[in-house]
Structures are given as structure tokens and as C-alpha cells.
Chains A and B, each alone.
Chain A
Amino acid sequence: MQNEELKFQSPTFFQRLKGMLGVDFYRLFHTPMFYIFLAIAAIIPAMVLGMTSMETAEGAVPMYTNTWQMIAANIPLYAVRDISEYANMNMVFIFGGIMVSIFIGHDYKSGYVKQLFTTHAKKEDYMMSKSLVGAFSMACMCVTYLLGTIIAGLFVRASFEVNVGSLILAVLGKMVMSLGWASLYTFLNIIFRKYFGISIASSFFFGTGILIVGAGAIVGNSPILNVFLYGSSVYACLSCGIDALLTCIVVSLAWAVIYNLVGSMVLYKSDVY
């Protein structure tokens, strides 16, 4: 059996991650859920743009006059003042949160997580893989959201006037923030892994930005609060520059590292299920 022992070669970190990511992407592309969420991300902005209106003295007027309002606010908003300022591409982070919850929830519900943890000793592989797949899904949703918004804008004949550079940076900023959000959701779902309903509720709660709204209402608008509670997503606005994108990259990576580390620690210290 000495010869047999020599065959036990430890897979490298990248080999392990490749396997775990391979499974998750295979699952993602082979499940209707991913495509449903892509469609939702495209349909919702179109519905919001085409169907929302405000009552004024002159009667009902469209809430959105410029198509790109559906992508981001004009200026960085640390706290939401009205719904039209909030209902933009940040909504993808709510859809993404629910998707990540269902994705991880199915791992536990089906018992597949047992197969993963039997063959993969490292819990951080699981955290990283789910975060990256969640980020990819949300980035894809950002693209379908953008397409849905453009098509709806053409239909309702809303204005397309915008600073193109800032628009691109804003979209990229939000796509980059997907990694931070996905890591947060993965972490939340690991914490509440035994309670599927609470996992979804917590993802929705964080994704809607209720924390930043609540904190903003109590302590007022604050860039620091925004970074801590809302991942700087609102820096990515229609008047942003390259510094906003860099902020999003830094914050997203910081969130990813922190939540992956803490999530892995939780998995190491507690029972898998």
C-alpha cells in the first residue's frame, strides 16, 4: 500500500478552484433560473421606464424623462430621497441577491453540498466559487438591464442625452461592484444556511439598501456610511469620473476579501449543515 499512498497528490489551490468553479458555472448554465433572472433584469427597467408617472398640477407626467436615469443617479447619492433616484441599475443587486440565495439554498436542500465538502477539504474554495459565480451572474444581469433600458427608452421616446464617458464608467462601476455584493450574499447565505427563507429575506434586506436608507435617515448623508453599508455603488453615477470606478474596484475587492475570509472562518468553525 506504500505505492498507493504515493498517488495521493494534493491538488493545487487553482486546481481545486477550477473544479469548484467548473461545477458552479455548469450548474448556472444548465438551470433555467439564471436565464429567468437575466430576463427579469431586462424587463423590470423597461416596465419602470414605461409605466411610472408622477401626478402634477398639469396632470400625470413621466417620472423618468431621460433613459439613463434608469442606469444611475445624476450625482452620488448617499441616501435615497425619492424612489426614482433609487430605482436604477442598483436593482440588479436585489435580483442577484435572491439568485445567489436560491443557488446556495439548492446546494443545501439537495444535499449536494455534502459531495462538495467530502471531496474539497477547503471551505474557502466554496466561498470564492459562489462569490465569483454570483458576481458573473450579476454582471450579466447588468448587461441585460442595460439592453432592456435602451429598448424601453426607444419605445417611450425618452431622452438619451448623457456624458458617454461617465455613463460607461457608471455601468462598469456597478458591474465591478457585483463581486462585492455577491460576496456579501454568499456570506449571508452561509450564516443562514439552515434557514432558506431567512437567507432570501436577508439578501433582499441588504440588497434594497434599507440599511443605508435607515442610517442616512438617522445620521444624515455620509460617504463613509455609503462605503460601509452600500458598497459605494452609488458613486457610480452619471457625472462620475475614473476615480469613482477606482473606488468601486477597491471597495468591491475589500468586501470580497472580508466576506470571503469571515465566511470561510464560519464554515471552518461550524458544522456544514
Chain B
Amino acid sequence: MYAIEINGLSKSFRGMYAVNDLSLKVPVGAIYGFIGENGSGKSTTEKLICGHLVADKGEIKLFGRDYTDPGVRVKVGALIENAGCFPGSSVYTNLMMQAINLNLENAHEEIMRVLKIVRMEDNVHLKFKKCSLGMKQRIGIAMALMGSPKLLILDEPINGLDADGMRIMREILVEVVTTQNCTVFISSHILGELEKIATHYGIIRRGKLVQEISAKEMESRARVFVSLKVKDTEGAKKVLKERFAVVKEEEEYLRVYDEENVESIVECLLKNGHAVSEISKNKIGLEEYYIELMSEKERE
């Protein structure tokens, strides 16, 4: 069983497909990073899962049930675009409304619990409109966490946050997954941050799913490279290209791909009179993996 199972989902706006025959599977308990460029259909997919948009065709199942089933719906929390709070009301009042909406018995305790998770317990009576962007995003997460959902759908929750805000958000999500056995479906442009928490990825391009991959799979597939710095970059590049298959220049560094033997690279350079001032062994990250994949698709 999957937390989210989508088959052949399509949604068009005035004849233009935002999501086109999309199929994906999100395992239970995963942090599923949903990646794609602007306008690729990430938000539309999330809105379709949340029932905000009506699909042209296709099927959405949540925990094996039809996504419109109220039984499964009450276990879904979402943060789509904004927190969905009344600006003139306090943080507490906004959360209380969600507690009443969900028929929660211990509303006050639940509000304090979620506020503690998002580190907002000291701002209970602050009006929503007085909150900073980071606070608003955290309140949005708190709204979504009311009633201990089993599925969280988050649309760009770390957008516009500073480094500290991103760290807090990351910690919150990891805590939610580990303590509440919750599945998280999260879209983000900030791939470096996503990489730190995601267990699975779905890469979408022009409304179609390009690739679905687990973080472990990506790790095993990720190309290794040796990054090094020399004085004469052009000369060293020429020398390395004679011996190694893929050598690229990245700013003031040279990268030798698919080669793990650092000694052989250093030896080759020294033989040709190039002293190495910096050297490190790396694996390409999510961002580079994504860029490479997108370039590949562009060429197709």
C-alpha cells in the first residue's frame, strides 16, 4: 500500500496541460521530494491531491482509498501556497478553528502540542498578520499538523526562509515523520535542503513525471568525481583529458568524473609539472543530478 498512488492524472487550464498523464507512488513513511522547474505542475499536482482542483482524468488514492473519502481526508494536512489563516485573528484562534473543524476533543492541548513542535508556543496570542514570513510558514505547518495527520502535503514550505528558518523547518519535518509516523509530500526549489531530509524523489517536467527514485538509489547511482585546484587550469585540463574520460572545468576547479583513485590523478599532474593546491573526493548531489537529468531531457 502507498500513502499516495496516482495513475494517469491530467489537468488542463484553457487547453494547456499543467499535469499530463502523471503517475507516481509515495511509500508510507517517506519524505517524498517533488522536484521540478517553475510551471512544471508541482503545485497543480498537490492541489489535485488536496481536492482543490478537479482533474480532467486519472485516479488518486490515499492509503489505498479514493482521495475523496472523508475517512482518509481527515488524516491529511496541507500547506499549499499560504497558511490559510485569518490575518485579523490570533494564532490560537486560527488553530482553534482548525481543531473545531476536525472535531478534536482536546483542542487546547492539541494546539499547544503543535505549537511546541513548530517552536511557536510563546506566540499563542499574536495576531497572524503580525507574524514574520518564517512564523507564518511554521503556523501553516502547525495548522497542517492538527489532529496528527498521516499525510502532509507541503508546497514550497521553505521558500523565503533564512538559513535558521530552513533548519528549524527541516527539524520539524524530521520530528513529525519519526514521532507521528507521517508521510510527507514536499515540493521545493531549494534542492540542497531537500536532499538533507528526503527519502524519495519524484522529478516532474512539463506535467509529466520524468523519474521516481529513492534517495538510496540516487546515492548508488550518483557519479563520483575528484575536484582539484591547480595554477594552470587549462594546461592541467589538457593533460587530464588524455588519461581520463570526463574532465570538466567548474569555476576555478577541475573535475575528474568517475575516477576514485586520487593518487593516480595527482601522479599524472605532477609528472606533467602541475602542482595541486587543493583536492577532494565527491559525489554529485541532488542539484547536479537534477540539472543533468533536465539537460538530458532537453536534448531528447
Contact = CB atoms under 8 A, between A and B. Distances in A.
A225 to B, nearest CB: 36
A27 B63 contact: no
Contacts of A7: 75
B50 A30 contact: no
Given A114-B50, A119-B76, A271-B52, A10 B1 contact: no
Interface stretch (A18-26, A92-100, A153-161, A241-249): A18-26
Interface in A137-172: none
B4 interface: no
A219 interface: no
Interface residues of B, number: 44
A116 B86 CA distance: 13
B69 A121 contact: yes
Contact of B73 (A112, A118, A268): A118
A115 B71 contact: no
Task: Say whether chain B's binding surface is mostly helix, strand, loop, or mixed.
Answer: loop
Main secondary structure of the interface of A (DSSP, over half): helix
Interface string B158-198: 00000000000000000000000100000000000000000
B237 interface: no
B235 interface: no
A176 to B, nearest CB: 27
Contact of B70 (A10, A18, A110, A113): A10
Given A5-B64, A26-B97, A118 B76 contact: yes
Given A5-B63, A18-B103, A11 B82 contact: no
Contact of B100 (A26, A111, A112, A122): A26
Contacts of B80: 114, 118
Interface in A231-273: 268-273
Interface in B56-85: 63-65, 67-78, 80-85
Contact of A19 (B82, B85, B101, B181): B101
Contacts of B87: 110
A22 B69 contact: no
B150 interface: yes
A268 B74 CA distance: 18
Contacts of B74: 11, 119
B214 interface: no
A120 B70 CA distance: 6
Interface in B23-68: 28, 50-54, 63-65, 67-68
Interface in A15-65: 15-16, 18-20, 22-23, 26-27, 30-31
Interface string B108-127: 00000000000000000000
A123 to B, nearest CB: 9
Given A114-B52, A114-B78, A8 B85 contact: no
Contacts of A18: 103
A82 interface: no
B7 interface: no
* Chain A interface extent, by class: 35 or more
B70 A11 contact: yes
Given A1-B28, A114-B78, A121 B103 contact: no
A8 B84 contact: no
Contacts of A10: 69-71
A121 B81 contact: no
B213 interface: no
A16 B28 contact: no
A5 B103 contact: no
B102 interface: yes
Contacts of B69: 8, 10, 121
Contact of A112 (B71, B76, B86): B86
Nearest to A111: B84
A7 to B, nearest CB: 8
A8 B75 CA distance: 8
A29 to B, nearest CB: 11
19 contacts: A1-B28, A4-B181, A19-B102, A22-B101, A30-B89, A110-B85, A110-B87, A112-B97, A114-B81, A115-B98, A116-B101, A117-B50, A119-B73, A119-B74, A119-B76, A119-B101, A121-B68, A121-B70, A122-B70
Given A4-B150, A119-B73, A271-B52, 10 more contacts: A5-B64, A8-B65, A8-B72, A19-B103, A22-B100, A106-B86, A117-B51, A117-B52, A121-B73, A272-B51
Interface of A: 1-2, 4-5, 7-11, 15-16, 18-20, 22-23, 26-27, 30-31, 106, 110-122, 268-273
